[in-house]
Amino acid sequence: NIGFTENTFWQILKKIRPSLYEALYIKHKKDEESFALIVSAFENQTLISGIIKSRTNGGMIVDVLDIEAFLPGSQIDIKHIINYDIYIEQKMQFKVIQINPELKNVVISHRIISEADINIKRKKIIDQLEKGQILEGVVKNITSFGVFIDLGGIDGLIHITDLTWSRINHANEILELDQKIKVVILDFDYEKTRIQLGLKQLYPDPWEDIDKKIKVLDNVPGKVLSIVDYGAIIEISEGLDGLVHINDLSWTRKIKNTSHFLKVGAILNFVILDIDKRTRKLQLGYKQQIEDPWDKLDFEKGSIHWGMVEDFVSKGAIVVFNNDVTAFIPSRHLRKLNGYKLKKGEYANFIVIEFDKNRKDIMVSHTNTFAKQLNSSSNSGKITTNIKYVADSDDGEDYSIEKDILPLESTFNNYNVGDITTGIVFEIADYGAYIKMPDGIESLIRVYEMSWNSQLCYAQDFMEIGDLVEVIITSINKDTKEIFSSIRQLKQDPWININSTYPTGSIHTGIVKKLTNFGIIVSLTKDIDGVIDTSIYKDKLIKNRFDFIDLGDFVDVEILKLDITDRKLFLEVVKKKS
């Protein structure tokens, strides 16, 4: 075999095609020289110039010394590029980042040069920064957590909590892209070139001199900013807002959903209930603008009132009376004389079977308004009637049954207030549980009578169907044959000596019992709970209010405030136990 080298190729071409040889050989030698310069630039990390010629898949084709080089889209510039065509025919400087001598492939970058220039500018700018310094910048990017500001070669971040003293959901509510603003330097990291900026710090803190602006019991106008599960956020002035709890909306109505009572944007008057400068919290009330009507309500047990079934809830319904008072009626007490249940919007007479002025609770019955009449018309304890009871099935089929309307008189009289007995739980509702005592007599245990520590609890938290419980009879209504009993009153109220046991400022260990929308419930003992308001930790930039604590954790807490009237302990975490 005769070796055929590159040099041989050129010699043959020169003899047979002199003109073609001249053209090709000159270009070949020029390309060789150009590629050698590119290799040298790669090895020495020097810059080379080139002209962007066209777009290609994933980037651009650049003419560098008559050699085609590839410029990836990600290596064109630091900023995000929308229109690549604007770079065509632009002359720019590049750095060679990859090369293949055999295939003559060249990959270049302009971004590296831009980043190096910016890093120099960043160092120069950050050398001149001071905390508290006011600078002018341009809004570069808006995110859910804050705004990035271009300070002229270096970016700084304004966290959403540092944008305004007012409450906002997103930064785009007050700023827009390319907007020029003044900012203040809050902090910076020289090594990482991170700058923390503030905007609200340029304006007076609305909590300064708060005592001169508002006082407890002041009546102030406010705008409903947002509705939350447990109330509403009310703005009483720019940057100054507070919470009106759902329980402080009405004296008489049991409001389950705040949006049924308040609308976002509405301007109403509210009463200042509490000002906590340490946690920067305002507690507002709406119902406190008028006197508590419960002191004058005439809803004694056994009294009959005309009302309307307003809505159905779990295990019963809400009845509203003409003075805007609402009461709860259990499902079993909705039955009419014809066996059908009262419907939503239907008016009827209701007899009061429980009235608790302190807890502002009323329980009524429609069934008992005619049950008493039926009972008195019979000579025996058992009343057999031809009442039709409608099945709860979808077909609504009617059927007749014999029904014991009320218990035997002689059996009912065996029980007295103060008697201690036992019963088996046979029905549970959110408001309480029904038990069958000896002789088959039924009794209701309200949730708040199940434990001295029943706030924020349901009956299901204390017992299950089939449980055997010991109770003390607390109330007997001989007219309606209703018996009410209690578990908690079998032992002393732990709140009697609460001031000496849990004085303000004392430290105690508890276990996390429940996580709610408004805070963390901590059990200090079986009968004493306290609440940690997690909103006071917002300045610690906790992304999730429960990131730092979980169910079952043991925590040391400090007693911040003691509310004996509402039987509430307010706590603050001292430390979490390992």
With H, G, I as helix, E, B as strand and everything else as coil, classify residue 229.
coil
| Band of pLDDT at residue 408, cut at 50, 70 and 90 | low
Count how many Cα atoms sit within 13 Å of the Cα of residue 59 in the half-sphere of its side chain.
19
Residue 63's closest CA among 85, 73, 48, 47? 48
The pLDDT > 70 percentage for the chain reads: 86
DSSP state of 32: H
Q: What is the mean pLDDT of residues 274-278?
A: 89
Name all domains of the chain by residue range, CATH numbers in brackets: 6-115 (2.40.50.140), 129-202 (2.40.50.140), 209-289 (2.40.50.140), 303-374 (2.40.50.140), 419-486 (2.40.50.140), 502-576 (2.40.50.140)
What pLDDT is attached to residue 555?
87
pLDDT of residue 539: 43
pLDDT category, 553, cuts 50, 70, 90? Answer: confident
Instruction: Provide the mean pLDDT of the chain.
Output: 82
The Cα 279–Cα 282 span in angstroms is: 9
Question: Residue range 246-256: average pLDDT?
Answer: 86
Spatial distance between the Cα atoms of 476 and 474, rounded to a whole number of angstroms: 7
Going by pLDDT thresholds of 50, 70 and 90, the confidence category of residue 393 is: very low
Exposure of 42 in the CB half-sphere (CA atoms within 13 A): 18
Q: What is the pLDDT of residues 109-146, one digit of tens each?
A: 999 888 888 777 777 777 778 888 898 999 989 998 99
Identify the pLDDT of residue 540.
Answer: 43
In 3D space, the residue among 427, 416, 422, 417 whose CA is nearest the CA of residue 438 turns out to be 422
Range from 174-188, 279-293, 311-325, 529-543 carrying the lowest mean pLDDT = 529-543
Strand positions, DSSP E, 22-58: 47-56
Predicted confidence band at 3 (pLDDT cuts at 50, 70, 90)? low
Cα(122)–Cα(141) distance, rounded to whole angstroms? 18
- Note the pLDDT of residue 256: 80
- Which phi and psi angles does 171 have, rounded to 5°? -60, -30
Q: Give 403's pLDDT tier (boundaries 50, 70, 90).
A: very low
Q: For 185-197, give the DSSP string.
A: EEEEETTTTEEEE
What's the rounded Cα separation, in Å, for the pair 440 and 457?
28
Cβ-contact 406, 400 below 8 angstroms: no
- Is 60 exceeded by the pLDDT of residue 388? no
- Distance, in Å, from the CA atom of 308 to the CA atom of 319, rounded to the nearest integer, reads 5
Share of the chain above pLDDT 90, in %: 31
Tokens representing residue 231 in the block:
């109330």
Give 438's contacts (C-beta < 8 A, 6+ positions apart): 421, 422
What pLDDT is stored for residue 382 in this prediction? Answer: 39
In angstroms, rounded to a whole number, what is the distance separating the alpha carbons of residues 382 and 339?
Answer: 18
* pLDDT at residue 371, as a whole number: 64
Ramachandran area for residue 193 (φ above 0: left; ψ -120 to 50: alpha; else beta): left
**Residue 92 and residue 110 in contact, taking contact as beta carbons nearer than 8 Å:** yes
Q: What pLDDT shows up at residue 544? A: 45
Rounded-to-integer distance, Cα 303 and Cα 293, Å: 18
Spatial neighbors of 59 by CB under 8 A, at least 6 apart, are: 70, 71, 72, 73, 74, 75, 76
pLDDT of residue 6: 67
- Greater confidence (121 vs 447) lies with 447
Residues 6+ apart with CB under 8 A from 281: 242, 243, 274, 533, 535, 536
pLDDT value, residue 578: 53
Helix (H, G, I), strand (E, B) or coil at 289: helix
